[in-house]
Amino acid sequence: MPERNLISWSSMISVYDQNGCYEEALVLFVELRKGGFENPNEFVLASVVQSCSQLVCLENGLGMHGLVIKASYNQNSHVGTSLVDFYAKSSDLYAARLAFDELEMKSVVTWTAIIMGFTLNGKVDVSLDLFKEMVCSDVFPDAYALSGAISACVMLEFIEGGKQIHGYVLRRAAYRDVDVSNMLIDFYVKRGDLKQGRRIFDHMVTKNDISWTTVISGCVENSVYWEALNLFGVMNRIGWMANEFVCRSVLNSCGSVGAFDQGKQIHAYTVKVNLDSFEFVTISLIDMYSKCHFLIDARRVFLNTANYSAICYNSMIDRYTRQGSLDEAIDLCNAMRHNITSLNSLLFISLFGVSALRTALGVCRQLHSLMIKFGFSLERFCGSALIDVYSKCSSVRDARLVFEEIEEKDIAVWNSLLCGYGFQSENEEALRLYLKFLHSGERPNGVTFVALITVSSDLASLLHGLQLHNQVIKTGLDFNPFVTNALMDMYAKCGFINGAHSLFNCILHRDIACWNSMISIYAQHGDAEKALLLYEEMKSKGVKPDYITFVVILSACAHVGFVDEGFRHFMLLPEFSIEPGVEHYSCMVSLLGRAGKLYEAESFIENMPIQPTAMIWKSLLCACLVTDNLESGQHIGGMTTSSYPNDSGSYTLLSNIFASRSMWTDALVVMDKMDRNNVLKVTGYSWIEINKQVHLFVSQDRTHQKACLVYLLIDQLVQHMR
């Protein structure tokens, strides 16, 4: 142009700004100033400030604010809105609010800018207050302002506020805007009201990708997996092309419900539309195949990945560890070391998990060495995982050494060692560690108290248990379901059944685990009638029994010989969609055997739809001991010790059967066979608390200072019983 006026410059700068050429807009503005136009108009200033916002260029933005004030455009709604947006995107909310408050006339765009600014910076409570001010000032919110307010309610979990905004949307007919409807769907599904979210979705005249993605991912978040798969089918039938986010959600659904065939079809779809190249889709495919127990297919997906990233390696290794495939996980870890220069902490945590399950101490130490090599040994997350695996591998000494190495110990590190001591029955050490923990300044949480209460249960120390219960109340954790269940168990093991029941009655919201605990307490103490009454009360409260509930009920019936009652409950399992497991069958065998119906028990085992395990045969063997049936016991015991030569319980039960008939030679032969097979019997031990001191007694141990007196009294009691 031979001659450029201010309108020409303004138009060109605005075009650059609207098309994302923000740097070019700033360069052109500098040329404008050099060209003699010292007083740009409001359109130029607004466009340049907007470019500074997008570039988050604080220095230039502050300079522009100075020019705005100099040119007396700070009261202009268009320019002022750009300044509000600039400061909000620069995270200077104080300056944004000042610029907003300076404006006498505020448009809907101005209100939207300040609301979205506070929302995006995490000040959602302020953004909701601003939204209320906007509505009260008779400015009708647009779709962006409504979306920002709904988003704030989602972040704050402000259910009532979200419903009020929904009502406003309906009154103003703003639901016709697809973005507003999408935000409302997101609000409802995230608060667990999938029905309302689905209702909004179904009434939408126009839907976009975000609509489908939000409702399908909402189904997955609320564990309504088949509904997510059905929606995916509808989406395809009406011609919508699913994006990578939808595919990830439906693949997660397939894995969660074991829908292998549907998963394969979705895999084929991702390949067809070239979505399998997205890393998170690849990870979802690996996860889906693994959860469906097709690790070979999961490995095939992994091997077909174009670029092996640390996340893909972690995902595949984690799947191997969850399936207990330690060797394959280690092999893949070695491959990762060769293909990727650095390992990460998540990898070690996954490998430690399977090492603990396999109690592979040697592998654990090798991984520990690798951790030191890569500099993770003193990192808190890895440190707590390492303490946990050493404890489970019966190497508490190594666990304590790792604990001492960690300089900054958080609650997870303390809890790992406390749980480790409890797991290995190092109860006195656990209590000493807790005293040290209290002096560290850390605040105990639910995991801490569960570990300590379990220690008190093992010690049968009611005094320690009462003290811990007092501390639980002081820290406000007496409503934690895990803590209350542990306390109930502790009171029961200390023989204080009334205390357990009183605590149970104080719990306002009882979940199935709480009911199971109390029913189990009555069952273990031989009060089957109370256990069954409590079970009926549980059902009357609308709580559905689960797998464990029936194990407890059948066990209660077995201990008191309620054969008909036991069979009645066993036949009810299908009504609650529960497939009978080994524990249920074992209880039924025990029920028949203890009632003297050994022939029926053997017949029951032969007709079971599953293969009998050592647990089931031991239940029958125990029944032979209780009913003093030598012939059956000898036959079943011989078969069990031959089929399960490493199971110490079978040898012990058979030996006890012989001993009960004073057949000492036969009992000795059984124990000799046990020794030849290198089977170790778990040593029996017990505690008793006298005058605040816990006394430990171990089988065949005479080191206690009053051992002679104890054994003398036992002999006298035995003679008296005879």
DSSP string, 531-572: HHHHHHHHHHTTPPP-HHHHHHHHHHHHHHT-HHHHHHHHHT
At 36 the pLDDT is 62
Q: How much is the average pLDDT of 100-122?
A: 85
Confidence of residue 51 (pLDDT cuts 50, 70, 90): confident
What count of Cα atoms within 13 Å lies in the side-chain half-sphere of residue 106? 25
Please tell me the distance from the alpha carbon of residue 376 to that of residue 369, in angstroms, as a whole number: 10
Whole-number Å distance between alpha carbons of 628 and 111: 86
Q: Which of 636, 619, 632, 622 is nearest to 584 (CA)?
A: 619
* Alpha-carbon span 216 to 233, nearest angstrom: 11
Q: Residue 5 corresponds to which tokens in the numbers above?
A: 């006026």
Span 615-641, average pLDDT: 84
* E strands in 417-506: none
Which stretches of 108-243 are DSSP H helices?
A: 108-120, 124-136, 143-156, 159-171, 178-190, 194-203, 209-221, 225-237
Percent of residues, the chain, with pLDDT higher than 70: 90
Q: What six digits make up the tokens of 333? A: 């870890």
Summarize pLDDT for 530-544 with one digit per residue, the tens.
Answer: 999 999 999 999 899
pLDDT at 359: 61
Q: How far apart are CA 282 and CA 316, in angstroms?
A: 10
Which of left, alpha, beta for 694 (phi over 0: left; psi -120 to 50: alpha)?
Answer: beta
What angle (nearest 5°) sits at the alpha carbon of residue 214, between those of residues 212 and 220? 105
Contact between 374 and 399 under an 8 Å Cβ cutoff? The reply is no
pLDDT of residue 108: 86
Q: Residue 549: which residues within 8 A CB-CB, separation 6 or more?
A: 512, 515, 516, 519, 535, 538
Q: Which residue has the higher pLDDT, 172 or 93?
A: 93
pLDDT of residue 16 exceeding 80: no
Q: Tell me, what's the pLDDT at 487?
A: 93
Query: Could you tell me the end-to-end alpha-carbon distance of the chain, in angstroms, rounded to an integer?
Result: 121
**DSSP calls for 265-284:** HHHHHHHHTT-TTSHHHHHH
Q: What is the pLDDT of residue 4?
A: 63
What pLDDT was estimated at residue 233? 92
Mean pLDDT of 344-372: 71
Residue in the structure block whose two tokens are 């939207």:
112
pLDDT digits (tens, 9 = 90+) for 408-467: 888 989 999 999 998 888 888 898 899 899 888 889 999 999 999 998 888 777 888 899
Could you tell me if 556 and 528 are in contact, meaning their C-beta atoms sit under 8 angstroms apart? yes
Residue 395, amino acid = S
Are 566 and 588 in contact by the 8 Å Cβ rule? The answer is yes
Distance CA 553, CA 539 (A): 13
Domains plus CATH for the chain? Answer: 207-307 (1.25.40), 512-721 (1.25.40.10)
User: Mean pLDDT across the chain, nearest whole number?
Assistant: 83
Among 576, 580, 579, 600, residue whose Cα is nearest residue 590:
600
527: left (phi over 0), alpha (psi -120 to 50) or beta: beta
**Phi (first) and psi of residue 325, to 5 degrees:** -90, 75
- Under a CB-based contact definition with an 8 Å cutoff, are residues 582 and 616 in contact? yes
Q: What is the DSSP letter of 335?
A: H
The confidence score (pLDDT) of residue 2 equals 53
**Structure token pair of residue 12:** 């060109």
Question: In which element (H, E) is residue 686 found?
Answer: strand 685-690
d(CA 125, CA 155): 9
Q: What is the pLDDT of residue 685?
A: 61
Give the Cα separation of 710 and 628 in Å (integer).
30
Three-state SS at 150: helix
Helices 664-676, 648-660: axis angle to 10 degrees equals 170
Pair 519, 491: CB distance under 8 Å: no
How far is the C-alpha of 124 from the C-alpha of 515, rounded, in Å?
40
